[in-house]
């Protein structure tokens, strides 16, 4: 029992340590001087040097990493170098809910689109519906997300005037306004993800539908819909669930384009802005949080295979 809990936690810690070290080293290679980022151009070398000393930038790399890691373990992610010079953690905690909500809504919508489409497609394997859906998803996958977003804005906001164009409303400030704002960016994400999900699930469903137990279920008089939902879906969802796990991590950290397009204060925007400004404590903190979510969601997905397939469950002691 202890092994089953302890081992994954240790694994998780090791992965996070490596990720944070990697980010730290990479950032130290990035050209540009944080001191200039903070003070701006045109100061005396002494001023820059004093600040570097104050920030600990003159220490050896590993010492700096140790200092940063020590702070993180105490809940101190440091302070933003760029004004407003507030706590990194506060900034992350204000951006994270936006990204998390976007990712969650996007994924739920994507699944709502993808599962019925994949079923329809697989049921009519090789038929006209299957080929149309395949072409549509392929087209969507080959479109960049900003194009999808722009098209949605052009049609749904500018032409049909279905959605508001003012600032982001936080979830705490009224759920109606929030959902209204979140819907379009979430739909942009959902369409891209749904295209991938549909293709993956459709292929696995087609394979499953050729299995003997599907024929056996038909021979017991089960309806096609029931067979699809109750017999075929679960054994076909392994690839989908795996990709879903990767999507969670990816969407929380890298929906930058969608965030910019819809002016959303999310994690992607936070990281990119910070990176452009040489605001390294911010980048480090944000990347660490994203990594935690990435690794955590995949660890959860790993656990979930047992729910999908009883054969992978370990014997209960």
Partner 1 sequence: MMTPSDGPLLVVDDLHTVFHTPRGEVRAVDGVSFQVAAGETLGLVGESGSGKSVLGRTVMGLIATGPATTVSGQVLLDGRDVHALKPGQRRQLWGPEIGMVFQDPMTSLNPVKRVGTHLTETLRRHLHCSRKEATERAVDLLNQVGIPEPVRRLTQYPHELSGGMRQRVVIATALACDPRLLIADEPTTALDVTVQKQILDLLASLVSERTMAMILISHDLGAVAGRTDRVQVMYAGRTVEAGPTRTVFDSPDHPYTDALLASIPQLSDQPHTVLRTIEGNPPDMTRPPRGCRFGPRCGRADDTCTDLMPALVAVPDGPARQVACHHPLLSIESLEPNAPLTEAGHGR
When the beta carbons of 25 and 229 are compared against partner 1, the nearer one is: 229
Distance CA 150, CA 259 (A): 12
**Separation of CA 177 from chain center:** 23
Q: Phi then psi for 79, rounded to 5 degrees?
A: -120, 145
Residue 52 or 218: the one with the smaller Cβ distance to partner 1 is: 218
Query: Per the structure block, which two tokens stand in for 274?
Result: 């910070």
Judge contact between 299 and 242, C-beta under 8 A: no
Nearer to partner 1, 76 or 211 (CB): 211
The C-alpha torsion from 51 through 59 and 15 to 197, rounded to 10°, is 30
What is the x/- site pattern for partner 1, positions 215-244, by CB under 8 A? xxxxxxxxx------xx--xx---------
Interface with partner 1, residue 314, by CB under 8 A: no
| Residue among 38 and 227 whose Cβ is closer to partner 1 | 227
Q: Toward partner 1, which CB reaches closer, 165 or 313?
A: 313
Measured between alpha carbons, how far is 33 from 27 in angstroms, rounded to an integer?
11
> Which residue of 213, 225, 276, 300 would you call a contact of partner 1, by CB under 8 A?
213
Out of 41, 161, 173, 212, the only residue in the binding site for partner 1 (CB under 8 A) is 212
Q: Is residue 311 a contact residue for partner 1 (CB under 8 A)?
A: yes
Q: Which two tokens stand for residue 183?
A: 């819907």
Among 19, 211, 299, 305, binds partner 1 (CB under 8 A): 211
SS3 state of residue 174: coil
Any idea what DSSP says for residue 87?
Answer: B
Instruction: Give me the least distance between CB of 117 and partner 1, in Å please.
Output: 22
At 105, list the tokens.
């809504």
If one asks whether residue 275 binds partner 1 (CB under 8 A), the answer comes out as no
Decide whether 177 or 235 has the Cβ nearer to partner 1: 235
CB 246 to partner 1: min, Å: 23
Q: Using the rule CB under 8 A, give the single segment among 145-153, 161-169, 209-217, 259-267 that binds partner 1.
A: 209-217
Residues 67-126 that bind partner 1 (CB under 8 A): none
Dist. CA 264–CA 276, nearest whole Å = 18
| Residue 309 binds partner 1, judged by CB under 8 A | yes
Does residue 128 bind partner 1 (CB under 8 A)? no
314 CB neighbour count, 10 Å cutoff: 7
Q: Of 3 and 220, which CB lies nearer to partner 1 in the complex structure? A: 220
> Which residue number, 153 or 227, has a Cβ lying nearer to partner 1?
227
Q: Minimum distance from CB of 138 to partner 1 (Å)?
A: 25
Candidates 44, 310, 314, 317; binder of partner 1 (CB under 8 A) is: 310
Smallest gap from residue 228 Cβ to partner 1 (A)? 13
H-assigned helices in the chain: 2-29, 34-39, 45-55, 61-73, 88-123, 128-141, 145-152, 175-209, 212-219, 224-226, 238-253, 256-261, 267-276, 280-308
Gap between the terminal Cα atoms of the chain: 9
The half-sphere exposure of 138 on its side-chain side, counting CA atoms within 13 A, is 6
Q: How many residues bind partner 1 (CB under 8 A)?
A: 20
Q: Which residues of this chain interact with partner 1, rule CB under 8 A?
A: 211-213, 215-223, 230-231, 234-235, 308-311
């Amino acid at each position: 029992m202890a092994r089953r809990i302890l081992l994954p936690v240790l694994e998780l810690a090791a992965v996070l340590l490596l990720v944070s070290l990697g980010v730290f080293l990479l950032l130290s290679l990035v050209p540009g001087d944080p001191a200039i980022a903070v003070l701006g151009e045109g100061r005396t070398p002494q001023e820059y040097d004093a600040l570097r000393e104050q920030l600990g930038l003159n220490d050896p790399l590993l010492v700096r990493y140790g200092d940063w890691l020590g702070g993180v373990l105490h809940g101190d992610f440091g302070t933003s170098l760029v004004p407003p010079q507030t706590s990194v953690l506060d900034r992350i905690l204000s951006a994270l809910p936006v990204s998390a909500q976007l990712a969650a809504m996007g994924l739920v919508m994507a699944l709502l689109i993808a599962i019925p489409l994949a079923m329809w497609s697989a049921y009519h394997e090789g038929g006209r519906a299957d080929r149309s859906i395949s072409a549509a998803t392929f087209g969507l996958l080959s479109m960049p997300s900003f194009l999808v977003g722009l098209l949605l804005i052009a049609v749904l906001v500018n032409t049909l005037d279905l959605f508001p164009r003012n600032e982001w409303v936080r979830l705490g400030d009224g759920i109606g306004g929030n959902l209204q704002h979140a819907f379009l960016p979430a739909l942009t994400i959902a369409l891209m993800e749904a295209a991938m999900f549909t293709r993956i699930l459709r292929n696995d469903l087609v394979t499953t539908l050729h299995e003997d137990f599907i024929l056996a279920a038909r021979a017991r008089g089960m309806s096609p819909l029931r067979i699809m939902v109750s017999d075929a879906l679960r054994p076909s969802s392994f690839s989908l669930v795996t990709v879903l796990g990767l999507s969670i991590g990816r969407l929380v950290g890298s929906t930058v384009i969608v965030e910019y397009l819809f002016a959303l204060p999310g994690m992607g925007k936070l990281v990119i802005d910070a990176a452009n400004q040489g605001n390294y404590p911010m980048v480090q903190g944000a990347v660490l949080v994203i990594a935690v979510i990435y690794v955590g969601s995949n660890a959860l997905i790993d656990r979930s295979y047992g729910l999908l397939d009883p054969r992978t469950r370990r014997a209960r002691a």
